Structure 1
C-alpha cells in the first residue's frame, strides 16, 4: 500500500468539460493528489473560478492549452477530451506516465469496429494493445499493472455491472439481451447541442441513436470476452433515452433466464459477485433502483425482478453517469493503479433530494 503522505502529481486534459470538472471535484478531497495542470484550449488563460464558479477558492491552477502542458511534472493524466483527440496527444508521451482516458479512444479493441462507429481510423494502434478496459470491479488485476486505462462509457458501466456476473455464470442467455437505457443531459457533454437545450429537453423524454449508439459494440465486446466468444457472436438490443435531468442514469435489462434458473439464482450470484464491493449494492427484494439513490456518488444499485413472461427476468441498475459512469470510476481506477485504498476520495454518500 502506498505511503499515505505521498503525493501523486496529476494533470487533467479537457478540464472545462463536465467530466474534467467532476475529476477536479473528486480529486480536491484526495489526500494523495496534487493537481498540477488543467488544460482547456478555448478557456486557456482563464482561472478555474471563471469556468466553474463552484470550484473557485481551492487554489487550482489556471487553465492552459494542451501545447503548454508540463508533462514531465506529473505522474498521471486524466484525459477528458473529445473522442479521437486523446490518441494523437498521448502517442508521443513518456512510457512512465500513467494515462486514464475517459473518452472512447481506447475502449474498442478491433480497429475496424472503432472506425465503423467513430468515423475515423484509429490514430494510435500501437497503444491499443496495452490499453486495459477500466471496469474496476472486473479488471482490477490488469488495471493495477496498467499504464493506459480506457474507462468505460457511462451506459456500458451500468449495463455490464448488471449483466457480466450473470452471463459469466451462465444464468442468462447472452444472445437475448434487450436494454432500455435512460440518462441525464450531461451524458451528451458540455458542448452546445439543440437536443440538450432546456426548452428542447425539458418536460419530455426522447429516445435517440436507435439501433446506432456507439456504446452498443462496447457492451457486446465485453460480454463476448466474458464468455470467450467472438464479439460478432453477441448482439444487444440497446436503445438510449434522454431524460430532462442534469445527471443520473438508469438501465432496464430484459433477459431470458437459462433453463432451470430463477431470479433467486440471479440474486445469489449478485451477492457472490458484489458482496465485498464498496460501491455496488444489491437492493432488498422488491426494492426498485432509482437515480435518486446514487446522485453525486460512485455507487451502483441493482435489483432483479420476475417478468410476467415465464423464463424471463427484468434487471434494473442505476448510477450517476458523471461519477460511477465516468469521473468517479476514473479516480477509482487511479487508486488501484497507485495501490491506494480504492475508496479514497469516493466515500461521499449520495445527494438527496
Structure 2
C-alpha cells in the first residue's frame, strides 16, 4: 500500500529535508505541499536542488483536502503549529516537528514558550517522538511530537546513563555546538553571513534555552526525581550538524558499556570504540547519531561526545522514522542512506 502524505511548512529547511527523504520512499507519495507564503510556486522555484522531482505545486493549508491524506507532517513554527493542528481532522495521523506538543505539562509549555497552549486536548494525547525510547507508544499514536534537535542529541548521550545508574545525576554538563540551519530559514540579522562567519558564540546562556524544558521533563521522568543539567548551546558557522560534549561524573568504562548495551540493536545509533570521539562530518545528511566516550584525566570522570545532523536525525529523519512506525512500515525505510562525505 502507498500512503498519501502532506507536508505543511514545505518551504522551510525541515520541509525540504522531508521532501528529499520521502521522494524515494517506496511506500509514501507526497500528495500535498502546504506553504502559505509561497503558495502558487513550484518546488523548483523555492528549492532548485529539488527541481528533478515531480511534486505538487505549493498551496495554502486551507486548500488541502485532508480527507485524501493518510499522514501529515507539520514543519511549521511553534505556536502556529498548534493552531493549525487543532483545525485538522481528528482521525488524521500527524507528526509535528515544532515545539508545540513536546512538553506534557501545559504550565511548563507556557513557562518556556511564553504563551498559553491553544490546543490542550491535543497536547495531552501527543507522544514524545524520541523514537528509540518511545517506539511502542509512537506505533499506536495519532499525534507524535518531534523532539528538539539539541534535546535529542543530549538525550541520546545521557538518557541511558541515567537508566543504568552509572553517573552522578547532579554533575551533568552539556556543551553543544549547533549549525545555523537549526535557527530556521527566516531572515534574521544575526544569521547574515557577515554577522555569523569567522567566529562562533554562545547563546541562551544561563539556562534560558527552551530545549531545557525537554531535558528537565525527560531526565527527571527516567530518574524518578528532579534532574537539572547545565546546558550551553553555541552557534557555529556551518550549515548542518550538532556536536555535543557532555561532562559527567562516573567510571568511563562503565559509561561506555551502558551506552553500547542500550544501543546494541538500534539501527541509527552508533557507539564508537572506547576512546574515540565522533565528528559531524561523519553523519552529515544521514539519520545516524554517533556517540563516543573518553576517560577524563581526572579519575571518576568521563567525557561523552555525540554528533548528528540537526535536519535529519535531529528533525526530519526522526519524523520519518516515527511516521514509518505509525503507518506500520519498516522503521528504517527511506532512511538508510550513507552520510555525505567529504
Distance in 2 separating the partners of 1:85 and 1:172: 39
Distance in 2 separating the partners of 1:72 and 1:176: 50
Distance in 2 separating the partners of 1:215 and 1:174: 18
For the residue of structure 1 that corresponds to 2:10, the secondary structure is: coil
> Partner of 1:51 in structure 2?
46
- Confirm whether residue 327 of structure 1 aligns to residue 322 of structure 2: no
CA displacement, residues 166-211 of structure 1 (integer Å, 9 cap, x when unaligned): 0011111222211100111000000011121111111101111112
Give the 5 Å matches for 1:79-158: 79-158=74-153
- Confirm whether residue 295 of structure 1 aligns to residue 284 of structure 2: yes
> Partner of 2:172 in structure 1?
177
- Confirm whether residue 254 of structure 1 aligns to residue 247 of structure 2: yes
> Partner of 1:3 in structure 2?
none
> Partner of 1:345 in structure 2?
334
Aligned-pair CA distance for 1:57: 2.6
Aligned-pair CA distance for 1:228: 2.4
For the residue of structure 2 that corresponds to 1:336, the secondary structure is: helix
CA displacement, residues 80-100 of structure 1 (integer Å, 9 cap, x when unaligned): 001111111111322221000
TM-score by length of 1: 0.95
8 Å Cα contact 2:292-2:305 kept in structure 1 = yes
CA RMSD across the alignment: 0.9
Aligned-pair CA distance for 1:285: 2.1
- Confirm whether residue 30 of structure 1 aligns to residue 19 of structure 2: no
8 Å Cα contact 2:252-2:300 kept in structure 1 = no
Aligned-pair CA distance for 1:130: 0.9
Q: Which of 216, 220, 224 is matched with 2:216 structurally?
A: 220
Q: Which piece of structure 1 moves more, 293-302 or 108-117?
A: 108-117
Q: Which piece of structure 1 moves more, 58-67 or 98-107?
A: 58-67
> Partner of 1:266 in structure 2?
255
Distance in 1 separating the partners of 2:212 and 2:261: 27
Q: Which piece of structure 1 moves more, 75-84 or 266-275?
A: 266-275
4+ residue runs of structure 1 moved beyond 4 angstroms?
none
Aligned-pair CA distance for 1:300: 0.4
Distance in 1 separating the partners of 2:107 and 2:275: 43
Aligned-pair CA distance for 1:311: 1.7
> Partner of 2:15 in structure 1?
20
Aligned-pair CA distance for 1:252: 0.4
Distance in 2 separating the partners of 1:285 and 1:238: 24
8 Å Cα contact 2:96-2:143 kept in structure 1 = yes
Q: Which of 226, 230, 241 is matched with 1:237 structurally?
A: 230
8 Å Cα contact 2:170-2:228 kept in structure 1 = yes
Q: Which of 180, 202, 205 is matched with 1:207 structurally?
A: 202
Q: Structure 1, unaligned stretches of length 5 or more?
A: 1-5
Q: Which of 57, 70, 73 is matched with 1:75 structurally?
A: 70
For the residue of structure 2 that corresponds to 1:225, the secondary structure is: helix
Aligned-pair CA distance for 1:347: 0.9
8 Å Cα contact 2:276-2:294 kept in structure 1 = no
> Partner of 2:191 in structure 1?
196
Distance in 1 separating the partners of 2:168 and 2:28: 43
Distance in 2 separating the partners of 1:324 and 1:334: 13
